[in-house]
Structure 1
Amino acid sequence: MKTLVLGASNNSDRYSYQALVRLQKHQHEVVAIGRKAAVVEGIHIQEGLPEIEGVDTVTLYMNPTHQQAYYEYIIGLHPRRVIFNPGTENPAFYALLTSHGIHIEVACTLVLLATHQY
């Protein structure tokens, strides 16, 4: 399963960084988009709206205001689900995703991984 970490950072203090590392450690294929290009544990953080095929899960690490620019992009990826990590909750986006048949999960990716629920 391919996971897109949206809002990825190369700052090891950020939860998005920890998610990149832990997803990879749990054998998940990881792609990442952030505000600046970087490499974390061999994962290239891309900028912009790159073409990505086969995304199963998008895990969000950006506040609702910044999410708006990615609504159509995320829907166009046709993921099975979008995980809204703490601080990213966005009921307006939940409704939009649901109307496109995309499952939403309000949860913490790090907790899901630690409890084998990912």
Structure 2
Amino acid sequence: MTTKQTLVLGASLKPIRYSYMAINRLVQKKQPVVAIGLREGRVAGVQIDTGFPKYENIDTVTLYLNAQNQKPYYEYLIELRPRRIIFNPGTENPELYKLLKQANIEIDNACTLVLLSTNTY
């Protein structure tokens, strides 16, 4: 497994949300993680930021926003220059795929929770 930093985009403070579960699982697996959501707070000791923070060394972005809610982040995601972006179920976005391919960013249609539980993250 990689030990490079993961950004959870669409992070929630609600325990029933998959983004909340993903943050917890990433922390359990000792993966460095940062998070952006609509509200600031903490999940598993991880600060949830709002807006467009300047992060360094993001290897993976895991998306928990539907295609419409991803639009404000297009330019931001490309500027982060992650190695890959994981599109969790319900986040598929052909428009963003095209932009990411042009920027040589890997697209992974997968479930972060499944990848972590099968040690294929």
Q: How many residues align?
A: 118
**Distance in 2 (alpha carbons) for counterparts of 1:94 and 1:23:** 24
Aligned partner of 1:51 in structure 2 is 54
Aligned partner of 1:20 in structure 2 is 23
Residue 102 (structure 1) shift: 0.2
Q: Confirm whether residue 82 of structure 1 aligns to residue 85 of structure 2.
A: yes
- Any unmatched runs of 5+ in structure 1? none
- Any unmatched runs of 5+ in structure 2? none
Length-normalised TM-score, structure 2: 0.96
* Runs of at least 4 residues off by over 6 Å: none
- State percent identity of aligned pairs: 55
Secondary structure (helix, strand or coil) at the match of 2:85 reads strand
1:61-114, Cα deviation, whole Å (9 max, x unpaired): 000001000000000000000000000000111111011000000000000000
Q: Confirm whether residue 110 of structure 1 aligns to residue 116 of structure 2.
A: no
Length-normalised TM-score, structure 1: 0.99
Residue 27 (structure 1) shift: 1.0
Aligned partner of 1:37 in structure 2 is 40
